[in-house]
Amino acid sequence: MLSADQNSTVREPEGVLAELTADLTEDGRYGERIVRVTRELVTVLDLSGAVLLTFPISDLESAKNDSLVSGGRLILRSKSHEDLIVAYYSLTMAQQFGELARGIEQLAKGDELSINLLVEKIRCEKCGKLLPEKNGVCPSCINRGKTMLRLGAFLKPYKSKAILLAIYATCSTLLVLVPPKLQGTILDSFNAGNRDPQFLFGMIGIWGGVLVGMATLQVLTGRLTTWLGAHLASDLRTKTYRSIEFLTLDYFDKKPVGAIASRVTQDTDRVWFFLVDGLPFLVINGFMLLAVAAVIFSINPLLAVLILAPIPMVALISMKAWKPISNLFFRASQKMARVHMHLNESLMGIRVVKAFAKEDSEFERFRLRSEELRNANVKADQTWHTAFGFMTLSVSLGTVIHWLVGGTMLFRGELKFGEFYMINAYLGMVYGPLQWFASVNNWFSRAMAGAERIFEIMDMKQEPAFAGGDTRKIEGSVSFNDVRFGYDKSNPVINGVSFDVKAGEMIGLVGQSGAGKSTTINLISRFYEPDQGEILIDGIDFRKLDLRTYRNQIGIVLQEPFLFAGTVAENIKYGNPDASLEEVMEAAKAANAHDFILSKSDGYDTIVGERGAKLSGGEKQRISIARAILHDPRILILDEATSSVDVETERKIQEAILNLVKGRTTFAIAHRLSTLRNADRLLVMDRGKVVEQGTHEELMESKGKFYTLVQTQSAVNEIIGIGAG
């Protein structure tokens, strides 16, 4: 009865619109209650279908989720401000009930129901095994055929080289069959009494020519395989990176950077290694198996059947051992990803580690992850070697059968000595590589798992409207109409916010931590889409604007400035790469950064280091302000832009900002409320709502929320001043 489709929109004009089964009872024990939503009622039933309570949608004011220690509860509030607890649920269902609460509110306001009740998968729907990550790929159930076909699509630009490689592989396989044939012919000729040296020299000459041809083909095949594999992996890597760039920010909120980076590096490397080494091995030796079988059958069909009989046994062992071994190696790769994530995190935060003298604790965490990786690798490799031992035994049986049956035929005169030798040589060509097929098979499964994880990224929902939209130059007016948004849908950070900002107006966003200020500017930047309501830019829903064109007209100075590894000039020019050095210097002067830049030994060519590590916090902030100035945006966003500078530097930057904001719509957040005196208007936010708005003087005179915030900050500053004294 779950009524949410893949487009996250419920469309049922009548009857049940949405239904969820809560997994806790009122006393906190495990039990089930069915919450059913229609256009008129919210109904709660037990498993027998008996109605426990009903709530008319027309009497509803709001719906919310209340978080508890081990779960939560769905609460409906009537228009008479009475709360009714509808259902209790565990943490695993929090996301779904958050969506349900949002949907009930939509119905209460007369809107269409538009929610997503699809739960994050932690187990594979096919085999029931735990997934390595939520909504991830099950390594046991990957359709390797489809994945290979999809990888094959990357071959289209290199079709001619792929055909040439297939020709090389075929010719190489055929040439490998020639030397045993020549050796057998020489031996049979010798046994027949032929002692002519010319015959021997002629056969050896042919043999030498074949060896030269084999070596040439090996060189050509190796070079072409390497070239083709490297280009395929490069295309895969760049397309994966391109797909990651356009993923929505909520994906990055949920995934560690190390785990995302492993898709581009570790997973593409697995595919590359298999394409360069594993795939040629499978193709060439697969051809070899068929060709040798044909030759042996042409010599003696009965003997061929007997000596090739162990092959199905090797294949059976490989098939039985392949899945568990594949899972073990996949698990080991997950442990490796955890090691990479910890390493990435600890090195990026090395200053914090040292500041708190946490080297030992970080080492202990790394050691535990390293031991987990070690144990996973040991288990996988030991299981593999056990299976490999049984395969080696099966391979040896083919040789034993040949010497037993073939030797008997040789003694009886049913088989020539040269033929016996040829078959023995061909057996080595078949059974030698065959015992490694399971290893390559495991290699193949790991590569396919990596490819599937890559394709998972490519298939994910990307930022909307990158494909097109209105590309007009905006004036800068901004309107929020009943906007609601939450990173966790059950707890909206912005709840019913409405305001209008004229083009060129400077707006200060004020409020306590968590009031929704940063979320508001994230929405203006269209880093996220509102869950409800609309945001208008120049009177147009911003979802109709081309996203790239829109963002190109927004300048942002973040609370934590981020600089790229490069020079000072390159960082300032990031938003305007074609800017001249003179324009870069003008922007730096406007941000009061020019003087300190010239004081550096290399001036504007100074290398800032990773994340700007060679600069102070205030210097990084001023460069990021210069970057925004040079970008020349229509909408300027200052998120605590002066939080990392001293009072004197802040004063200079404020002077620069006064010139910068002229003619631009500006949204400013500042930790020191006094710095927002020059704003045209202040929006005071509290718990996701705009509770006051007006000029600095008007809000101080009204002695409301803003007045209280200013008084509190002044008192804190006095305490700090006494402490400093």
Q: Is residue 558 part of a domain?
A: no
Last residue of a domain, one of 108, 132, 165: 108
Residues 294 and 402 in one domain: yes
Q: Which stretch of DSSP H or E encloses residue 637? A: strand 635-639
The CATH number of residue 57's host domain is 2.30.29.30
**β 681-686/689-694 pair status:** antiparallel
Beta-carbon count within 10 A of 707 CB = 15
Q: Is residue 84 part of a domain?
A: yes
Identify the domain containing residue 55 by its residue range.
18-108
Q: Is residue 90 part of a domain?
A: yes
Residue linked to tokens 């990307």: 462
Last residue of a domain, one of 609, 632, 655: 632
Regions in the chain scoring below 50 on pLDDT = 1-14, 720-725
What does the pLDDT read at residue 216? 93
Residues 671 and 701 in one domain: yes
Measured distance CA(194)–CA(303) in Å, rounded: 27
Q: Is residue 2 part of a domain?
A: no
Residues 549 and 687 in one domain: yes
Last residue of a domain, one of 459, 491, 515: 459
Q: Is residue 658 part of a domain?
A: no
Residues 92 and 163 in one domain: no
Q: Is residue 170 part of a domain?
A: yes
Residues 40 and 161 in one domain: no
Contacts (Cβ under 8 Å, ≥6 apart) of 456: 136, 137
Q: Is residue 316 part of a domain?
A: yes
What does the pLDDT read at residue 8? 34
Q: Which among 187, 281, 269 has a CA at the least distance from the CA of 225?
A: 281
Contacts (Cβ under 8 Å, ≥6 apart) of 489: 95, 98, 99, 102, 531
Contact 649, 487 (CB under 8 A): no
pTM of the model: 0.62
What does the pLDDT read at residue 213? 92
The total number of structural domains in the chain stands at 4
Measured distance CA(191)–CA(152) in Å, rounded: 51
Beta-carbon count within 10 A of 313 CB = 16
Residues 443 and 316 in one domain: yes
What does the pLDDT read at residue 256? 65
Contacts (Cβ under 8 Å, ≥6 apart) of 211: 179
Cα separations in angstroms, 59 against 17, 53, 56, 63, 510: 18, 14, 5, 12, 34
The CATH number of residue 408's host domain is 1.20.1560.10
Paired with 501 in beta bridges are 478
> How does pLDDT run across 379-419, given as a tens digit for each residue?
888 887 887 778 777 777 888 888 888 888 888 888 888 88
Residues 625 and 640 in one domain: no
Residues 318 and 359 in one domain: yes
The CATH number of residue 625's host domain is 3.40.50.300
Residues 170 and 289 in one domain: yes
Residues 453 and 396 in one domain: yes
Residue linked to tokens 């060189």: 219
Alpha helices in 553-607 (DSSP H): 568-572, 581-590, 594-599
Q: Which among 475, 636, 659, 669 has a CA at the least distance from the CA of 554?
A: 636
Residues 704 and 575 in one domain: no
Beta strands in 1-136 (DSSP E): 18-24, 30-37, 41-45, 51-56, 60-67, 71-78, 83-90
Q: Is residue 657 part of a domain?
A: no
Residues 567 and 615 in one domain: yes
Hey, what are 315's tokens? 């294949």
